[in-house]
Chains A and B, each alone.
Chain A
């Protein structure tokens, strides 16, 4: 138990940002709260819809509620030990620094590729000292061995990175969950490793 106690004591002092509280962000948040993280900053502009329930960490009676507030309720049912800072709105160049500059690691969990591209560029140009853990390529099912982590300095990209068409290859709970857990696991790897990431 000593090792786990040491890990929890260390994680209790850490802060992680999550940009987007959909399939990736909501599941990353639950894993980090269960791990004993001290502080989560979660930003999202969306509300819970019926279509989200097939893969996101929300419940049917939360339909219509802002995702950040519904997620707060769900996370606090797991544990009240993690401090939650919530922002109900879009992440923009005007507020990103205020939201995420206090974080030890930031998780990119947006839906659209254009948002992912903007955020990765913004983080690299403005908060390059903070590791960014992204998700790219989470649609489909099976062939889990195709999922990978691409590392580039302070940038970590989880997913298969394969082109898929939404109508033919939908987002399914198992793979979305797998990539979210890969992201959460990379966060632990970064927070629990003292050496600088390889460039």
Chain B
């Protein structure tokens, strides 16, 4: 499947996969994150159960202290 991940097209072998799996494959390991799937915020608890499908838009933003 092909998705838009952080404004770039990314292709993964096979069909839908969970957000947790995408994060694992693309090495997003930060503790503080904002994850948006098709514009909607997804809570941490739902990463392992929310499916990303072909054509979806996924945004993963790292949050680092300092301001």
Contacts and interface: CB of A to CB of B under 8 A. Distances in A.
A186 interface: no
Contacts of B41: 120-121, 124-125
B67 A111 contact: yes
A38 interface: no
A137 interface: yes
User: Interface size bucket, B side?
Assistant: 10 to 19
Interface in A117-143: 117, 120-121, 124-125, 134-139
B36 A137 contact: no
Contacts of B39: 152-153, 199
A110 B67 contact: yes
Contact of A117 (B7, B34, B67): B34
B59 to A, nearest CB: 4
Interface in B12-67: 30-34, 36, 39, 41, 57, 59, 61-67
B22 to A, nearest CB: 15
- Closest A-B pairs by Cβ, 4 of them: A113-B32, A152-B59, A161-B62, A111-B67
Given A112-B65, A155-B61, A162-B62, 12 more contacts: A22-B67, A23-B67, A113-B31, A116-B67, A120-B34, A120-B41, A152-B39, A153-B36, A155-B59, A161-B62, A163-B30, A199-B57
